[in-house]
Amino acid sequence: MQKLLFVCLGNICRSPSAENIMNYLIDKQGLQDQVVCDSAGTAGYHIGKPPDRRMTAAAQRRGIVLLGRARQFSTIDFEKFDLILAMDQANYEDILELDPEKKYAHKVKMICEFCQEYPDHEVPDPYYGGADGFDYVINLLLDACDGLLKTVATPNQR
């Protein structure tokens, strides 16, 4: 069983989208017994809040439902998860800062490392932009999550 944690700043746009997109892909491929997902934010701005309504609408246009409530990343997450996937460089660095001995650095990756079509190195934060930004993030995360799933799921069960 692979345990994945998606991390952005506030845990209301990008990381819950990645979590729910991955769950959507896992369900479509019948891999629920192989991969479990969660999401968190490096900051505590939105703890307990549901995903952003604009992000939720963008996901719904693709047939994906966004569930969950925002929570903040904790050092215990280093032990609980096999892979910790940062949405951007700032999140990546904030996560690694909580691991000064670099004991868990091998678990922390950038989500865009798994993109197959998109050339992006980071998932842009759509929070202060228009609807197009939310749609773009959903499409980018669909690509990245599909690539990620190909690396964490057992081939003989795909």
Q: Which residues belong to the active site? A: 8, 14, 125
Helix (H, G, I), strand (E, B) or coil at 92: helix
Could you tell me where the beta strands, DSSP code E, fall in 17-118? 35-41, 83-86, 108-110
Contact 118, 143 (CB under 8 A): yes
Of 60, 42, 51, residue with least CA distance to 19: 51
In single-letter form, the type of residue at position 148 comes to L
DSSP one-letter code for 72: B
- To which residue do tokens 């499409």 refer? 139
d(CA 6, CA 17): 9
